[in-house]
Structure 1
Amino acid sequence: MLIETIEVTLVQSSLHSITEQMAHALLHSARSLNLSEARDFCTGLYGSRGEIIEQTEFIPLLAYTVPTSIKNIVDFFEEDIRPGDIFIHNDPFTGGNQATDVKIAKPIFHEGRLVAWAAINAHQADVGGCIPGGYNPCATEIWQEALRIPPVKLFDGGVKRKDVWRLIFSNIRYSIVEDDILAMIGGCTIGERELVKQIEKWGYERFSQNLQKLYDQTEKMVREEFLRINNGVYYGESMAYDDGIKGEKAMPIKVKITVQDDQMTFDFTGTAEQTAGYVNAPYPVTLSGVLLTLLMCLEYADIPRNEGMLRPVRVIVPEGCLLNPRFPAATGFGNHLVDQIGEAVMQALFPALPQRVTAGWNHMLCVLLSGHDSRKNSPFAHMLINACKGGGGASFGADGYNHIGFIGGGGGIAAQDPEMFELEAPVHFHKFEYAPDSCGSGQWRGGLGVETQVEFLEDVQCSIFGEGLVPQSCAPGILGGHPGRSNTAKIIYPNGEVYYPKAKEFIPLLPNGTRWHQIAGGGGGYGSPLEREKSRVREDILEGYITLDKAKKDYGWE
């Protein structure tokens, strides 16, 4: 039995190493800052019908949306899948998540049999549509957002389909996307090569047996975790604001979690109906939001990320609601509803797992800049990720992480190096630092957000997408903890005029010399601030995390 366990562990470690190799290959070969700096992608190995074998989850949100894409590829092509094929997919209505998140999938064969897939899901600089970068806050249908790419072969039996390639990339603005797709293909090729080595090392039958044992062990770990939770029904609710069409619109997200012995069911019945705007999350996004939040709350931090963890979990999302919209709804903002999904799940699980959940995380507010860089005589499109990474929520015994970003990123999405950003885009950073007093006070305080001021050195257009510009959408505290500071944003024109943008807005022209000034809010606090150790309050004051006024007001500092 011990030898079997060791063998399964060796297989699992080898599989994870393969997905890490895929990830680092992409990091060092991709051209866009989104991938090479921000790591806005995931890599993975999957079974013949998309079952999760292993993943490297720089962005957990992206990782759990890949299996549905592969299942749709397999269903569509059926027997027409051969060695050397490469598939591309981004369509939210055939298993994808956000249209800007493009999947590249390569089938893996052994002795003529389809045994697995290597796949990468990565956010692209552009996918066509009305607005560069794919975030169109005015969209009311999918065609206004992006080029829909249902399962399509880019390579057929190792031969590039030049007509298909040209058709797709003729509808995408930036040549850098082609370069990044080629880098993704390279990463998948590494995954294929290394997995075949493992299969040949163990032999197919023995490898498959170990894989099934790995699934079974993972399932057992998850079920044991669930057995520690009291049986019952738990309720949580969060709120999203502004669907892109109606700025005042409030959209509740409701979840009922039923724990029955070693199984958990997440039912989102009662959630708001799908919106007329682009604030809709395809089902894979909702499933991903549930899984990544649930895994944060479990005791075992080392649960393998494979198909076994899904077996005890059921997710019910009524069709036609905000979290499972009907075709042809716009869905460009859907990824970022994971903030609210995670918040609702955490709230529901608090009575059952009070020492495992976190307080609320800052709701992301981001801006996508595009235009022409005269220094290079070339177009550009970049997300200002530096500015949007707010604070994480505090948990029992620990302060929230500073500048961690939205919960769907799981801390994996990285802020671009400001100097690299200045090299790649015509901007100049005047300020990029922690924002004092942005964290929610508590026995354990929330993480800090950041204050950023960037000057545009060319005329630019920008798409603003996010939340948190209204006080009620700041990160909530828990068990007496205070909420984090809400986001703020303003545009300072060269003549000194100040404009306060909406949370979802497209601005077609910001002239050279305009400044973008943003404060990303902090995470919520956990427990009463009056219970915080005085030495930690003192440290926060000395570090400049909180002001003396906040220390006196919230912590009773004297």
Structure 2
Amino acid sequence: MTDKNAYENIDPVTLGVIAGSFNSIAKEMALVLYRMAYSSIIRESEDLGAGLFDVDGNEICESDSTPMHIGSLPGYIDGVRHFLGDNINDGDIILHNNPYYGASHTPDLAIIIPIFYDGELVAFAANTGHVLDAGGMSPGLMVDVVDVYAEGKHYNAIKLYNKGEKNEEIWRHIFENVRTPKENKGDVEAMIASAKLGKRRYLELIERYGLQTVLAAQKRWMDYSEEMIRKEISKIPDGEYKAPTGWLDDDGRNYGERLRIETSVKINGSDLIVDLTGSSDQVETAYNVPFSGSTLPATYTIVRAILLDEAVSEVFIPQNSGIFKPIKVEAPLGSMWNPKAPAACTARINQVQRLADQINLALSEVLPDKTTAGNAAHVHFNSYAGIKEDSGDYWVYIEVNEGSYGGRYGKDGLDSVDNLVANTRNNPIEELEMRLPMRCNRYELREEGASAGKWRGGIGIVRTWEFITDSLFTGEGDRHTDPPRGVYGGQDGLTGSMTLNPNTDAEQNLHAKLTNFKIRKGDVLEIRTPCAGGYGNPHERDPQDVLEDVLDDFTSKEKAEEIYKVVIRDDLTIDEKATKQLREGSKVLNS
């Protein structure tokens, strides 16, 4: 319990120093985790999160990693409370991953360490990371599964250490029931080291400043974040702002049956509500979204990104539970965004990316200078697996293929980057080819170019994998049918695709979602990720920027003239007179 006097009397310098320490602790925790991890999805992609949490599970600070992980941890802690009640002791190390009790999805394991001071529970150090395999019906990832139990093992607040004593039998049971025991165990040990560091650093703060001062600082820090985001919400006129209906390709079993996304943002003073009523009901595959662990964090992340953009903010505004408090989500129980147990819900990353994009598009009506055109809002989240001939063990590789950002006011969209709520890194090809029976033959920007606008959309990637051995492939893809939206006259983007053995007699167009699809030795898989939408009338794009696009092969001379009304000579210079005439004629036609 925070002392009222300590809260009111903490001086700004002490508050700033302690708050800076919180941020440093979270970053250091994440650094330990990804440096120590065994699997490439954590070690290279940094598909992880780490931070400190108060005794009620409120987030104090978070690492600069995947926002989906951190925003979900308050839900994980609530889940731990549900299963353990008050049976939480000094020296406990708790493992949890149940998506119906706070987890973001089954493969995202969390390690939670309670922090005690003078015999009293005062905080938690916690982190999450995506492990290679959770022991489900499919190695790595899966979409077409019968229920949440088929996704993998659920650890309902399991104590790996109880009052400081290691539970050897639990450890043996957990890691003998997955396909990648060495990697999973190494990742969990890295997570424990990270959380232990967070605990140690937090206790050092208490020893230096006193318990009540630290508690006061963390509450003031959260209140400050809440105050700052409420101030930005209050600037938006009260009302309801609705995004165009969005469509997901299908549920990974009933191919071609698209899933509806309805999104509106309601502003009432300093409160913001995202209403998802009218979206598709939950589906019979794993293409559902855990409400607490994924729907809520995705919403928090995009609202904060739009309203409190660090790149343009004059002051530092920390990310913590204060950001979450003014934001609510309405999603009917039994919908895709809030499924009923025991519906499977492990394949949820593309839906939350699209949710973030829909919120962005809804607010573009009233915040044109803070929002983007339609983003790729997608990842071809893929897993590859097989059996090692020498040992009979599984190899599993999980890959995040990047997308692109939509153009925004004053800036072109970013190319070839994970976007919106995922924020993961790509894996180095050289490192993968040393470890896995796969060879990357092509990895570059899509040759079709950028979507036109006053500020162009970002460009997605094309990647081709050649397989050295028979493999099982699972893809959690989407956006093969519904392109990113252009805004304010900008062009729509391009959809993604997957093709097996392109430009051969054996060419086969693949669905975005596949589970345990067999790829044979010698096959080649081509992945194309979406290109984002353009922002603003292409005829208003600076001709010099159009020329730069031609020089960069982002557009052609012919398209420059047809779409941008910019005439470029054979010597790659701008014909300013012809361009002026063409654009003036276009204005007459448009009027």
TM-score, normalisation: structure 2: 0.90
Match of 1:127 among 123, 134, 140: 134
Identify which range, 361-370 or 278-287, moves more after superposition. 361-370
SS where residue 279 of structure 2 aligns? coil
The residue aligned with 2:271 is: 263
SS of the residue 1:179 aligns to: helix
What SS class does the counterpart of residue 265 from structure 1 fall into? strand
Give the gaps of 5 or more residues in structure 2: 1-7, 311-315, 568-591
The match for 1:308 is: 322
RMSD: 1.9
**What one-letter code is carried by the residue in structure 1 that aligns with 2:144?**
C
Question: Matched residues in 1 for 2:90 and 2:280: separation?
Answer: 44
Quote the offset at 1:194 in angstroms.
0.6
Deviation at 1:239, TM superposition (A): 1.9
Q: More displaced, 191-200 or 2-11? A: 2-11
Distance between the aligned counterparts of 1:233 and 1:494, measured in 2? 48
* Contact 2:95 2:155 (8 Å CA) reproduced: yes
- Decide whether the 8 Å contact of 2:83 with 2:156 is kept in 1: no
Of 432, 438, 447, the match for 2:443? 432
Q: Does 1:110 align with 2:123?
A: no
Q: Is the 8 A contact 2:350 2:476 kept in 1?
A: no
Q: 1:107 to 1:264 in 2, by over 3 A?
A: same
Deviation at 1:374, TM superposition (A): 4.7
Matched AA of 1:161: N
Identical-pair percentage: 27
Alignment deviations for residues 230-273 of structure 1 (CA, whole Å, 9 cap, x no partner)? 11121224222211121112222223322122111222222211
Three-state SS of the structure 1 residue aligned to 2:421 is: helix
- Name which of structure 1's ranges 157-166 and 173-182 shifts more when overlaid on structure 2: 157-166
Q: Give the Å deviation of 1:423.
A: 1.4
- Identify unmatched segments of 5+ residues in structure 1: none
Distance 1:371 1:494 in 2: 26
Q: For residue 354 of structure 1, what is the aligned residue in structure 2?
A: 368
Partners of 1:451 and 1:16 lie apart in 2 by 37
Q: Which residue of 1 aligns with 2:299?
A: 290
Counterpart contact for 1:373–1:458, Cα < 8 Å: no
1:264-314 per-position Cα deviation (integer Å, ceiling 9, x unaligned): 122222221111122110102111111111011114524211121122222
2:477 is aligned to 466
Counterparts of 1:554 and 1:102, CA distance in 2 = 49
CA distance 1:507–1:550, change in 2 (3 Å): farther
Q: CA deviation at 1:500?
A: 1.4
In 1, Cα distance between equivalents of 2:536 and 2:503: 45
Distance 2:558 2:381 in 1: 30
Matched, 1:541 2:550: yes
Amino acid at match of 2:272: M
- Aligned residue number for residue 514 of structure 1: 523
SS at 2:248's partner residue?
strand
- 8 Å CA contact 2:229, 2:304 repeated in 1: no
Secondary structure, aligned partner of 1:226: helix
Offset of 1:215 from its aligned partner? Answer: 1.5
Mark the CA change 1:67 to 1:378 in structure 2 (over 3 Å): closer, same or farther.
same
Once residues 177 and 444 of structure 2 are traced to their aligned partners in structure 1, the CA distance between those partners, rounded to angstroms, is 38
**What letter corresponds to residue 506 of structure 2 in structure 1?**
E
Q: Take 2:86 and 2:163, find their aligned partners in 1: how far apart are those partners?
A: 13
Residue in 1 that maps onto 2:563: 554
Is 2:138–2:516's contact at 8 Å kept on the other side of the alignment?
A: no
* Residues 3-12 or 163-172, more deviating: 3-12
1:274 paired to 2:282: yes
Aligned with residue 455 of structure 2, among 434, 444, 457: 444
1:530-554 per-position Cα deviation (integer Å, ceiling 9, x unaligned): 1111111111111222333433332
Of 380, 392, 395 in structure 2, the residue corresponding to residue 365 of structure 1 is 380
For the Cα contact (< 8 Å) 1:494–1:513, is it kept in 2? no
Q: Deviation per CA, 1:512-537: give whole Å up to 9, x if none.
A: 21111122121111111111111111
Equivalent position of 2:357 in the other structure: 343
**SS of alignment partner, residue 278 of structure 1:** coil
Instruction: Give me the whole-angstrom Cα distance separating, in 1, the residues matched to 2:554 and 2:139.
Output: 37
Quick check: 1:168 aligned with 2:174?
A: yes
Task: Give distance in 1, aligned partners of 2:56 and 2:9.
Answer: 31
Q: Which deviates more from structure 2 when the two are superposed, residues 453-462 or residues 292-301?
A: 292-301
SS in 2 for 1:214: helix
- Residue among 245, 250, 253 paired with 1:245: 253
Structure showing greater radius of gyration is 2
Q: Which amino acid aligns with 2:249?
A: Y
User: In the alignment, residue 121 of structure 1 is paired with which amino acid?
Assistant: T
SS in 2 for 1:206: helix
Amino acid at match of 2:515: F
What SS does the aligned partner of 1:79 have?
Answer: coil
Q: Which residue of 1 aligns with 2:580?
A: none
| Secondary structure, counterpart of 1:122 in structure 2 | strand
Distance 1:533 1:126 in 2: 49
The 1:264/1:374 distance shift into structure 2, 3 A limit, reads: same
Read off the aligned partner of 2:494 and give its amino acid letter: R
Supply the distance in 2 between the matched residues of 1:448 and 1:376 (Cα, whole angstroms).
Answer: 41
Alpha-carbon distance between aligned partners in 1 of 2:366 and 2:566, rounded to the nearest angstrom = 33
Structure 1: which amino acid aligns with 2:382?
A: V
Shift of 1:140: 2.7
Which residue matches 1:182? 189
- Structure-1 separation of matches of 2:259 and 2:322: 33
Tell me whether 1:483 sits opposite 2:492 in the alignment: yes
Aligned partner of 2:160 among 151, 154, 161: 154
Contact 1:38 1:413 in 2 (8 A): yes
Q: How big is each residue's C-alpha offset from its partner over 1:119-147, in whole Å with a ceiling of 9 and x where there is no partner? A: 111111000111001x2222131122211
2:81 aligned partner: 74
* Residue deviations 1:307-352 (CA, integer Å, cap 9, x gap): 2112222222211111000001111212321122112211221122
Is the Cα contact below 8 Å between 1:439 and 1:521 reproduced in 2?
A: no
Q: Equivalents in 1 of 2:419, 2:379: separation in Å?
A: 6
Q: The residue matched to 2:525 in structure 1 has which SS?
A: strand
Change in Cα spacing, 1:120 to 1:162, as seen in structure 2 (3 Å) is same
1:97 to 96, 104, 122: 104
How far, CA to CA, are the matches of 2:382 and 2:49 in structure 1? Answer: 22
- The superposition leaves residues 53-91 of structure 1 with CA deviations (integer Å, 9 ceiling, x where unpaired) of 000141112221111111111232122111111111111
- Structure 1 pair 438–506 and aligned structure 2 pair: CA distance change class (3 A): farther
**What is the alpha-carbon distance in structure 1 between the residues aligned to residue 421 and residue 146 of structure 2?**
24
